[in-house]
């Protein structure tokens, strides 16, 4: 093989190797896994997990008690026929004058539909991480759509302004979104089981 051809092939091989991903950057992965700790804290807070339930009866209050009045998910997540969530839950929290235990409200108040419950209760960090990314569970969302959902959805945002005597999500929303983005930008690495 002529020397010029060997040099050209070596240069081409070098370009290929330079463009190859030799694996995730360990520092980025470590930062992403640390960011996921915050994501987990938010997803497993009562404001989120009271509706992201394994069964069909939502929970309520910080203690995660069964919802009173026999409320159930229904076929679409909006409650049973004849007793939709909107019977009690409006488009916004009621005024403080209604009392600390008045039913809260936010746009499109509902549970996830039964086909994609996005259960967060009792999951390990690794299982929660996999579930968040599972398009069969998350409504077909990729990372960009998930980020938009946690950034902008009014029902998600309600968790930081739940009204009454409910405890808001303790992580500031902007910090949560930044940590979610850091985790997603790294490809959503999951903690070891």
Q: What residues does each domain of the chain span?
A: 25-185
Three-state DSSP at 182 gives helix
What is the rounded distance in angstroms from the CA atom of residue 142 to the CA atom of residue 134? 9
As given in the structure block, the two tokens for residue 26 are 């360990």
pLDDT per residue of the chain (193 residues) written in tens, 0 to 9: 565 555 555 555 554 555 555 567 999 999 999 999 999 999 999 999 999 999 999 999 999 999 999 999 999 999 999 999 999 999 999 999 999 989 999 999 999 999 999 999 999 999 999 999 999 999 999 999 999 999 999 999 999 999 999 999 999 999 999 999 999 999 999 999 7
Strands 79-80 and 83-84: antiparallel
User: CA–CA distance from 90 to each of 50, 85, 107 (Å)?
Assistant: 18, 9, 7
What is the rounded distance in angstroms from the CA atom of residue 190 to the CA atom of residue 144? 18
């Amino acid at each position: 093989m002529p020397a010029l051809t060997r040099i050209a092939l070596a240069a081409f091989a070098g370009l290929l190797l330079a463009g190859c991903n030799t694996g995730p950057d360990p520092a980025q992965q470590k930062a992403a896994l640390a960011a996921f700790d915050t994501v987990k804290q938010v997803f497993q807070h009562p404001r989120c997990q009271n509706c992201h339930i394994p069964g069909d009866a939502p929970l309520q209050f910080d203690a995660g008690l069964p919802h009173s009045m026999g409320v159930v998910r229904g076929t679409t997540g909006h409650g049973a026929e004849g007793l939709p969530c909107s019977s009690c839950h409006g488009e916004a929290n009621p005024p403080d004058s209604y009392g600390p235990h008045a039913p809260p409200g936010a746009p499109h108040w509902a549970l996830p539909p039964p086909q994609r419950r996005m259960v967060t209760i009792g999951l390990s960090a690794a299982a929660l991480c996999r579930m968040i990314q599972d398009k069969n569970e998350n409504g077909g969302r990729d990372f960009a759509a998930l980020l938009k959902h946690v950034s902008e959805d009014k029902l998600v945002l309600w968790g930081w302004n739940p009204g009454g005597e409910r405890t808001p999500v303790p992580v500031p929303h902007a910090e949560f979104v930044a940590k979610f983005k850091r985790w997603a930008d790294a490809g959503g690495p999951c903690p070891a089981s």
